[in-house]
Amino acid sequence: MSGMRVVIVGGVAGGMSTAARLRRLDNDAEIIVLEKTGHVSYANCGLPYFVGGVIEDESSLLLQTPTSLYERFRIDVRTNHEALRVDRDRQVLVVKDLLTERAEELAYDVVVLSPGASPIIPAINGVERAFVLRNVEDVEKIVSKMKSLPKTAVVIGGGFIGVELAENLTKRGISVSIVEASPQVLAPLDPEMAEIVATELSAHGVGLHLSDAVVRIGEDQVELSSGSLLDAGMVIVAIGVRPEVGLAREAGLTIGERGGIVVDDYNRTSDASIYAIGDAAEKKDAIDQSATLFPLANIANRQGRVVADHLVGRSVRPTPSIGTAIVKVFDLTVASTGWNEKRLRAAGRTSIAIHTHPFSHATYFPDARPMSLKMLVDPDTGAILGAQGIGSDGVDKRIDVLATAIRAGLPAVALADLELAYAPPFGSAKDPVNMLGYIAENRLSGLVEMVQWDEVGDLGNQEILDVRSREEFNEGALPGSRNIPLDELRDRVDELSTRDVLVYCQVGQRGHVAALLLSQLGFRARNLDGGYETWRYSPASRQLVASV
């Protein structure tokens, strides 16, 4: 299709990736990009950090301009131009110049829809006073508001953007509250992992109002459904986004069950001349092949490349998505990939949960930092279904390895065999990822029985044995547990009152040793997965504290 005219609607991640890749492959194609805002090719993932002053110069967020794109690629980029309608029969786009208010028809051979997603705006009394954060114009409004030196702010929504904004507003000296309708922040995490993040937010002064909602936004306060009033010099809505499908719907393209544009493996819509990519398009979930939505820039960029390759006849690989994501929350790195346990249970899928709390590198080398990892494994196939990680150092590379393993189809036990880079400043001889593989092998082979944090209350008269040191035990323990340090267990085993024992330690390792020992001595011994460190962040622990 040399000499074809390709019109791309949307000039950020997916759209510009399509345009640049297509030009590199086809020098004769006429490429027109329509962007209804005043900027293209900007780093929207960096917008919260401009709010916080971490990124000081707004121009740093603007990766390219219409001029630079024309000079290098001869791409016709038209900012402040909105696509109003697609006439599929005539293969014409109706386009409006938002500065002159003039509309024109633009013929096309191919259209690529990359309009992104729009912020969800709840029906709240006074919501017009709130800000959103989607593009450069939005961040300019927020920064302009901060020049009036508001002392307080309320962020509605505890998702990725919400917690990023909370951190960055706090860095500006603003007292921040997050209001979240669900019982936890960061929905991709399971509750015992999300509580670690909540603790970090609270430690930095962020007020958390979970299982609550804003019902009214006033001049300097917001009212919650619980009846609480929060001071709010500014309010930002960050409860999520929905695919921008208005243009596609009006054109009669197929919209899927998740609300995004339905596409095939090449990102073609129900009209072979129209492609859709990025946040507006539905993806195929790699875990169960269902339709899903992942509003992530790396996926949009990848899809843009796929479309360009397909247009020029190159071989294209299908790209199901696993939803790998990461966010900085003050001193923590929080990351996830694949499915969480909540979603697996909702889908009726059984899984084995593995919690570990390793260090970022060898503990004898300075500055080793603890992290919390959770991996979910199919008990029948051994497939890795998902993983979550939280810590101040080293989480990103572990989640990246686990995401790669999921993509490659490696079974959980194969993690033990990975040869990962090791030196004391960077890791351990048994890397945390290797350890997940070893634990998975023990679990799948039935070597040790495990108990999860949410099963502890259903154990009946089982003896609960803490094999940590006395000092650790005195700092906090499971209710009703008996303390016999691991090194004393062989000599004091007769003190156990039953042959059915739940064993735990701080993170699970000493509990594993104790459970194997007791099993060989004729006990039914089960180890608490992740130990006390997992249990203390769980809802079970929080409920106990609340009842005291």
| Fold of domain 331-445 | FAD/NAD(P)-binding domain (3.50.50)
* CATH number corresponding to 5-116+242-311: 3.50.50.60
Give the model's pLDDT for residue 548.
Answer: 35
Amino acid at 507: V
When the pLDDT of each residue in the chain is averaged and rounded to a whole number, the result is 95
The whole-number average pLDDT for the span 444-470 is 91
Which pLDDT does position 544 carry in this prediction? Answer: 57
Q: Six-digit token pair at 353?
A: 């949960």
* Cβ-based burial of 88 (10 A; exposed 0-12, middle 13-18, buried ≥19): middle
Interior angle at CA 208, CA 203 and CA 209, nearest 5: 165
pLDDT at 35: 96
Top-tier CATH class for 450-547: alpha beta
Q: Assign residue 80 a region (left: φ > 0; alpha: ψ between -120 and 50; beta: otherwise).
A: left
- For residue 529, is pLDDT > 60? yes
pLDDT of residue 159: 97
> What stretch(es) of the chain map to CATH 3.40.250.10?
450-547
pLDDT (average), residues 425-436: 97
Give residue 238's identity as a one-letter amino acid code: A
DSSP state of 275: E
Q: Per-residue confidence at 543, pLDDT binned at 50, 70, 90?
A: low
Q: What local confidence, expressed as pLDDT, does residue 2 receive? A: 60
Instruction: Tell me the per-residue pLDDT of 277-320, one tens digit each, with 9 for 90 and over.
Output: 999 999 999 999 999 999 999 999 999 999 999 999 999 998 89
Burial-class residue 546 by CB neighbours within 10 Å (0-12, 13-18, 19+): exposed
Q: Which tokens hold the place of 522?
A: 């004729």
Beta carbons of 129 and 235 less than 8 angstroms apart = yes
Q: What whole-number distance in Å separates Cα of residue 541 and Cα of residue 472?
A: 17
3-state secondary structure of 43: coil
pLDDT at 44: 84
Residue 519 has pLDDT above 70, yes or no: yes
Verdict on whether the full-model pTM lies above 0.85:
yes
What DSSP letter does each residue of 155-189 carry, written as one string? EE--SHHHHHHHHHHHHTT-EEEEEESSSSS-TTS
Number of C-beta neighbours around residue 24 at 10 A: 11
**Cβ neighbours for 380, distance < 8 A, ≥ 6 positions apart:** none
Q: What is the DSSP letter of 220?
A: S
- On the 0-12 / 13-18 / 19+ scale of CB atoms within 10 A, 276 is buried
d(CA 154, CA 415): 43
Burial of 475 (0-12, 13-18, 19+ CB in 10 A): exposed
DSSP 524: E
pLDDT above 70 coverage of the chain, percent: 99
Residue 83: beta bridge partners? 95
- The CATH 3.50.50.60 domain(s) of the chain lie at 5-116+242-311, 127-239, 331-445
Distance between CA 172 and CA 146 in Å, rounded? 9
Average pLDDT in the 3-17 region? 95
Q: How many residues does the chain have?
A: 548
pLDDT of residue 68: 93
For residue 291, the surrounding DSSP H or E stretch is strand 291-292
Distance CA 240, CA 242 (A): 7
pLDDT tens-digit series, residues 319-348:
899 999 999 999 999 999 999 999 999 999
Nearest alpha-carbon partner for 172 in 31, 302, 49: 49
In angstroms, rounded to a whole number, what is the distance separating the alpha carbons of residues 158 and 154?
11
> What per-residue confidence (pLDDT) applies to 547?
43
Average pLDDT over residues 127-135: 95
Q: Which fold has domain 127-239?
A: FAD/NAD(P)-binding domain (3.50.50)
Return the number of other C-beta atoms located less than 10 Å from residue 476's C-beta.
10
Residue 239: partners with Cβ closer than 8 Å, 6 or more residues away = 119, 120, 122, 156, 157, 159, 162, 181
